[in-house]
Each structure stands twice: as structure tokens, then as C-alpha cells.
A and B are shown apart, each in its own frame.
Chain A
Amino acid sequence: MNTDSAFYSNDDWIPVSEKLISARRLVVVLVAIPVIGIVIALWLIPAVPSFIAWIVAALGLVSFIWLWWLIGRRVRSYAYCERESDLLVTSGILFRRLVIVPYGRMQLVDVTAGPIDRAFGVTTVQIHTAAATTDAAIPGLVPEVAAAVRDRLAKRGESRAAGL
């Protein structure tokens, strides 16, 4: 059963930068390093039977490959769409989500980038409303695009501001 249509529409959806895939994969690699260290340690300690090291290595490898693949799909699932009076953000593969934020209800727009994101040239634009459950974040935007989105959103928000 294909339900993809529920989470997209005929509007112009803009995907996020593929650089985010590399940024997130690097995080997985950084996590993998201590795991490799643990496997080697298990291998060297004589008291531990060697099959335990094998099992840990196999589990680590399987989750590594799975995450590698998942990150690609998950990042490609992010998309946003600026309509005339509201912003649409969709995300997720297993748990799908589509949020619509009317420009008039935006309280502030955050642009953030961690050190890894900066190294890969991606930033996250996060839209806040008075509701904590809104959770409309667009990760993986190129800084220039992020700044342009932020400015556009801020302008549209101002002209439609409804307050609380």
C-alpha cells in the first residue's frame, strides 16, 4: 500500500542538501572508533573467549551498515515547501511526519550548526511557535539557503504576526 501521497502534495517540495548525509555518516564513523577499540580489547584479553569478540564485531558491523543506509534514506526524506501563507516540513521513513506552520504563528526562527555540520557546510533551520510540539526543523541546508529561508520566514512572519 503506498501512502506516500499523504505526506507530499503537488507543491514544490525542496529536498535538503546531500552534504547532510556525509555529516551524519561521519558521526557514525566517530562512534564506530571506540567500538573497534572495544573489539580489539576483547580480542586481546585472554580471559574472554574469542567468540564474544566476534559477536560484538559482527553486531557492530551490521548496525554500522544499517545506519549507513538508514542515514541516506532519512536525509532524503527531509523536504520543505514554502507556500503562500504557511511552511510545510516533512521527515521520517519509519515514523513519518508532515507539519504545517502558518507564518503568522512563528515566534522565532533559529539557525544552528554544530562543528561537524559546519565542516560539511550544512545548517539547521528550526521554526518555533508558542507550542512546544510543533517541532519544525529543516536540517541540512546550505548556509546561504538557510539564511535566505530564515530572512524570508522572518519577513512573512512579521507581516502576518498574530501574537498570542
Chain B
Amino acid sequence: MITLGSGLTDSQGHRKLSPVSPLLSAVSVLPAIIGFALAIFLPSGFSFTQNFPALRPFVAGVLVIGLASLALSIFVALFQILGWRAFSFWIDQDGDLRVRSGVLIRNERRVQLSRIQAVDVVQPLVARIFSMAVLVVEVAGQKDSRVTFRFLSLTDATEIRQTLLNLAAGTQTESTDTDSPVLFRLPSRDLALGLLLRTSTVLLFTATIAILIFSYVIEGWAGITFALVTGGVPILIVIVEFITFYGFTVYDSPDGLRLRYGLLKTENRTVPEGRVQAIDFIEPWLWRSHSWTRVAINIAGVGSSSQGSSGKNKETLLLPVATRSVADSIVARVLPNIDIAEIDWKVAPNRASKRSPIQWRNLAMGWSANSFAARRGRITRHLMIIPHARTQSVHITQGPWERALNLASLHVDTTPGPVSVVALHLDVDEAREALYGQAGRVNQGGGI
């Protein structure tokens, strides 16, 4: 039997999570527990003081809240211990991962290793203090398709991760973080500047300044609350994203690209080779002087609708900010054989300006022997690429306004994710020809 990691095992030889997990889980929810205790016991804390006038109200309050929090934490920890006792995982005879869990309702899950999309090691703040980590296994599927191992020691988690990836890939290559070559490291300055120069940030800041001037001229400082919102939101977004993507580094590894980032919570993500379905180069207006680009990707089974929008963003981002040449070289590793230079672009006709007056100049589509590409957007430019072999279906649509102008839009359907490949407002005959041509290329493209 294949062993997973080097941690605790039970009598059947099944792996257990780290024994400090219940405690860590309890500590993780401590802020919530204290908040709860404050809300429930603050009134009774005061009446307590009345019975013991010798104690000063503040001391009594702290004492009551502290005791209540402690009791609740112990309760949570006890509950977590039960969960910990019931949780075990192992590799079965067929070479698949089995996970057993559940106190009241027993649940045994079998994860087909060939279906694994990604194995991530995540370190939340509390876990990092104790050098513990959370292992997240992503499996292809729409709903409830991830298995979370909360918590394992960091070395154990990395070992298990490597074992699972090796088993999934059918290889036995040993690799550790230390010997993986760094392909790209994002300087903090570029990250901060890139986030500040995003179109939405700049627009909101401009709006803030306009509101401030306007409200000062018209009626003193009455508009200040509105300005606080328009000015505060982008600042908050920039800070949050800066913390999330701080120290963004791309490593080469045998099973794909490894991404590592985060200031408070270090995330380790692997973008498996051959799992990328479609790609989008996003270039905001003010990034163009640096020839910077953001790269979003669709990965099968990752970032589907069942996950929150914030998680969706993070898990489907290949690069937050990078120069175009760096982006191209990194994209080439996850999606080889796409030759953007080879593509013969077919642009939207001039009459498309009556449908999309701003972006029509950048509307175009094209294809090469093995991928389809489309461009759209004027202020924020998009360049979307999808290999024929990853194309699920193709369709054209035509709204009434497009019909009047004899235009149609060509959509190349991909798995759910941030990238949707669409060539807008093309000449009808060209769109139709491309549609049938694309269907032929998809059929020839064969399997994924």
C-alpha cells in the first residue's frame, strides 16, 4: 500500500490529520467566539458585578467574557475532536484516494486520482504560526467537488501533495520546492503600481476628486460621505489584492506550474499542464505603456459557480501583472503550441461602429492550425485564446440591432470560468463561414 506523508496513522494504517487540528480549528474561530460571548454575556456580566461589588466592572466584564469564551472554545474543540477522530484517509487497492469523515452521518468518499485537477497547500494566518497547513484537493465536477484536509503539518502536507500529484500523473518523480526553478517573481512595486493603474481604480479615484471639487464649490463638504465610498472602495480593493498576491512567484515543476503568493496567507497552487481550457490576456488602458498584462484562465472543474466570487478570481488567475513577453513564455508552458503570431486576423467591418462605437476598432477573430483567438475591448483590451481541442461547441448569435447592420457574433464555448471567448459583431457571412469552419476544426482537433 502506498503511504501518504509521514504523519499519524490509525490502527488500520489509515492516515489521520494532525492531532492539534481540533485546537487550531478552535483558535481559528476564536474571534467569532469572543464576539458571540460579548453579545450574549455582556448584560449578565454587569448584573454579576452588582452581586460582587468588590470587583471593578471592567475586571468583572473581562473575567466573564474570558470564561465564556474559554468554555465555548472548549466546547468547539470537543466537537472538533469528535470530527478529528472520525476523519481518516488512505490510498485504496485501486490506487484511489479514500476519505472517511462524519460523526453522526458517516461518509466515505472515493476520489479518482485521474480526476484530480489541482492539489493546493494553503496556510491561513493561524496555521502559519504553528507551521501547519491546509491541503485542498480539487476534483473535476460541478458541485462540492473539493476535499479539504484541515490541518496537517506543512512538511506532511507538501509530501502528501507530491504523492497525490505523482500518483495522478502516473509518475514517480520526486520534486521539492527548493529545486524547482523560479520562472517569474513579481516585484512588489509592479504589483502595487499595476493595481493602482487598473481602469476601475483610476476611474473611481477620478470620480472621487471630481466629487470633492464639486461638493466644495457647491455646498461645502456635504458630498464627503459619497467621496469616502468612491475613494475608500478602490483603496480597500487595492490593499486586499496587494496582500493576496504579494510576492507572486511562478515555479516550474514536473506536474505543471506552481504558483505561490500571499502576505498573510500563503497560497500554493498548481496549474496542471494540459488542464487549461482557455486563456484571456487582459490589458487595462494605463498598463499599455508598460506593456503589462493580466492573465486569466479557465481550468476544468476549478472556479465553477459553486465557489464564491472572490475565490473564483484567485483560482483562475495565472498572472496578476506581468509584461507581455513574460506572460507569453509562461502561457506557453501550460498551453503549448499556440501561435498568436501565425493568426490571420479578420476584423469587424466599419459598420460595427454603429453597434459598439468604442470597442469596434479592436474587434477581431482569427485562428491557426490549433487554436482560435478573438479580440475585444478598447479601454481594457482582451485577447482570448482557446485551442480547438478544448472547444466544447460553437455558436453564433444575432440581436435585432446586429441584424439591422448585417452583423453576427461568434461564440466559442469553453468550460465555466472567467474567460468567455467571443468575437463580437462580425460580418454575417464571415461569422457563418468561421462557425462552420470552426466546427470542422474542432472535429479534426480530436480529443483533449
Contact = CB atoms under 8 A, between A and B. Distances in A.
Interface of A: 1, 3, 5-7, 9, 85-86, 94-102, 104-105, 129-136, 162-164
7 interchain residue pairs of minimum CB distance: A99-B395, A131-B392, A131-B413, A162-B447, A129-B392, A100-B439, A101-B393
Contacts of A132: 305, 415-416
A162 B397 contact: no
B443 A104 contact: yes
A86 B439 contact: yes
Interface residues of B, number: 37
A149 B201 CA distance: 52
16 contacts: A1-B403, A3-B403, A3-B406, A6-B396, A6-B432, A96-B398, A97-B396, A97-B397, A100-B436, A101-B392, A102-B442, A102-B443, A132-B415, A162-B389, A162-B447, A164-B140
A12 to B, nearest CB: 15
A130 B443 contact: no
A164 to B, nearest CB: 5
B399 interface: yes
Interface in B434-448: 435-436, 438-439, 442-443, 446-448
Contacts of A130: 300, 392, 415
B414 interface: yes
Contacts of A102: 393, 439, 442-443
A77 to B, nearest CB: 12
Nearest to A161: B447
Contact of A86 (B400, B404, B416, B443): B443
Interface string B394-437: 11111110011010100101111000100000001101100110
A162 B446 contact: yes
Counting chain B CB atoms within 10 Å of each CB, which of A1, A9, A97, A100 scores highest? A100
A9 B398 CA distance: 16
A1 B403 CA distance: 8
B386 to A, nearest CB: 10
A131 B414 contact: yes
Contact of A95 (B399, B432, B436, B443): B399
Given A85-B443, A131-B414, A98 B448 contact: no
Nearest to A88: B439
B134 to A, nearest CB: 27
Contacts of B400: 94-95
Interface string B164-197: 0000000000000000000000000000000000
Given A6-B431, A9-B436, A102-B442, A164 B300 contact: yes
Contact of A100 (B389, B394, B397): B394
A133 B409 CA distance: 14
B447 A163 contact: yes
Nearest to A9: B436
A104 B392 CA distance: 9
Contacts of A85: 443
A131 B439 contact: no
Contacts of B395: 97-100, 134-135
A134 B393 contact: yes
Contacts, number: 98
A94 B406 CA distance: 13
Most buried by A among B391, B429, B443: B443
A22 to B, nearest CB: 27
A131 B393 contact: yes
A6 B435 CA distance: 10
A120 to B, nearest CB: 28
Contacts of A163: 447-448
Nearest to B428: A6
Contacts of B414: 131, 133
Given A104-B446, A130-B415, A132-B416, 8 more contacts: A3-B408, A6-B429, A98-B395, A101-B393, A129-B393, A131-B414, A133-B414, A134-B395
A103 to B, nearest CB: 8
Contacts of A86: 439, 442-443
Contacts of B429: 6
B408 A6 contact: yes
**Max chain B CB contacts within 10 Å: which of A1, A9, A105, A133?**
A133
Interface in B299-318: 300, 305
Contacts of A133: 411, 413-414, 420
A130 B140 CA distance: 11
A6 B411 CA distance: 15
B43 to A, nearest CB: 50
Among A95, A99, A164, max chain B CB count under 10 A is at A164
Nearest to A95: B399
A134 to B, nearest CB: 4
Contacts of B438: 100
Contacts of A9: 436
B428 A99 contact: no
A116 to B, nearest CB: 28
A57 B432 CA distance: 44
B397 A95 contact: yes
